[in-house]
Structure 1
Amino acid sequence: MAVKIRLRRMGSRNAAFYRVIVQDGRYAPTGRFIETLGWYDPKQQGNNFSLNIDRVNYWLENGAQPSDTAASLIKKAEALPAEKAVSGEVTEEEVPAAAVEAEETSEEAPAAEEAEKAE
């Protein structure tokens, strides 16, 4: 099984937001994935990403191949001081608010349509 560490695009148009995921290489980049390792927001200034370094190292040791962008983020995360590097689970508080709002709006639209159909 060819395991890959990739970035999956989230968010809306002109507000790109990415999740760093582990995925079986046989699936499409938009398909099923194994685990979420972190996030990356290219429009955010300063520290615009967060990675679970422990899990990244686990997958790399087990033969996962990172994409070019994922490899760049991993290299940056390993170069950060220990207090700024994320070593544990990626929590909801770490995800930028703009990305959460964009995801919530995309989920609310189908719910509103279902409510109208029920009436």
Structure 2
Amino acid sequence: MSVKLRLVRMGKKKRPTYRVIAADARSPRDGRFIEVLGTYNPVTKVVVEADGTGPSSPADIKIDSEKALKWLRQGAQPTERVRKLLEISGTWDQFKGGSN
């Protein structure tokens, strides 16, 4: 069984949130999954500074590093977007540093 780390879309219309999951590669995007590894909210509240500088809206990323590392060490393949989220959270560096 080939396992992928990928995103599942949740949330309301025009207000997406995502779960980072481990799933069988043959399962559909929003189908059956093995384990939830974290969440990703790309649409956070926009903060405008008092001095009028541009809006700032950092994405909210919460990933359980221990679970993600467990799946990566077992050979799970992350999608490109999940790999970028793992890099931002620091989990990808832990995985690459620990595998040498």
TM-score, reference length from structure 2:
0.75
Question: Which digits, 9 at most, give the CA deviation of each residue in 1:49-108, with x for residues without a partner?
Answer: 1000011010000000001110000011117xxxxxxxxxxxxxxxxxxxxxxxxxxxxx
**Larger deviation, residues 38-47 vs 12-21:** 38-47
Distance in 2 separating the partners of 1:47 and 1:17: 10
Q: SS of the residue aligned with 1:32? A: coil
Distance in 2 separating the partners of 1:20 and 1:31: 13
Identity %: 38
Compared CA separation, residues 54 and 72, structure 1 to 2 (3 A): same
How far apart are residue 16 of structure 1 and its match? Answer: 0.4
Compared CA separation, residues 28 and 47, structure 1 to 2 (3 A): closer
Q: SS of the residue aligned with 1:54? A: helix
How far apart are residue 7 of structure 1 and its match? Answer: 0.4
Q: Is the strand fraction higher in 1 or 2?
A: 2
RMSD: 1.2
The runs of at least 4 consecutive aligned structure 1 residues that moved more than 6 Å come to none
Q: Is the counterpart of residue 54 in structure 1 residue 81 in structure 2?
A: no
* Matched-pair contact (CA < 8 Å) for 2:9–2:17: yes
Compared CA separation, residues 11 and 64, structure 1 to 2 (3 A): same
Give the aligned partner of residue 4 of structure 1: 4
Q: Is the counterpart of residue 77 in structure 1 residue 89 in structure 2?
A: yes
Q: Which runs of 5+ in 1 are unaligned?
A: 80-119
Give the aligned partner of residue 27 of structure 1: 27
Amino acid at match of 1:31: G
Give the paired residue count: 79
Q: Which runs of 5+ in 2 are unaligned?
A: 45-56, 92-100
Q: Is the counterpart of residue 68 in structure 1 residue 68 in structure 2?
A: no
